[in-house]
Amino acid sequence: MSKNEKLKKAREFCSEVRELAKKYDLPFFVVTDGASATSNNGCLAVKNARDNHIHWEKENGLDPYEDWSKKDGTEN
């Protein structure tokens, strides 16, 4: 699988998790190779996970605030 195909699949996965969380009205944070997604309504565990991921992304030269959903047309 090419890097672009892997990235596309990671983003599709995150989009599916977002839809599932919406269906059950649950906060979440998910990270996989190439993509992450979050939706939170005050859950401290989700906030902690995302805050730690932001820290990791900064340490590894990534933009923790990149919104790939706006780039590829998937719903955010």
The pLDDT of residue 75 is above 60: no
Counting the structural domains of the chain, the total is: 1
User: Is residue 74 situated within a structural domain?
Assistant: no
Run of H or E including 38: strand 35-39
User: In this predicted structure, what is the pLDDT of residue 1?
Assistant: 87
pLDDT digits (tens, 9 = 90+) for 15-74: 999 999 999 999 999 999 989 999 999 999 999 999 999 999 999 999 999 887 776 655
User: Is residue 7 situated within a structural domain?
Assistant: yes
Q: How far apart are the C-alpha atoms of 74 and 76, rounded to whole Å? A: 6
What residues make up the domain containing 10?
Answer: 3-64
The pLDDT of residue 5 is above 90: yes
Structure tokens at 19: 């839809």
User: In this predicted structure, what is the pLDDT of residue 72?
Assistant: 61
User: Is residue 73 situated within a structural domain?
Assistant: no
User: Is residue 70 situated within a structural domain?
Assistant: no
Q: Is the dihedral of CA 39, 42, 45, 48 positive or negative?
A: positive
User: In this predicted structure, what is the pLDDT of residue 76?
Assistant: 43
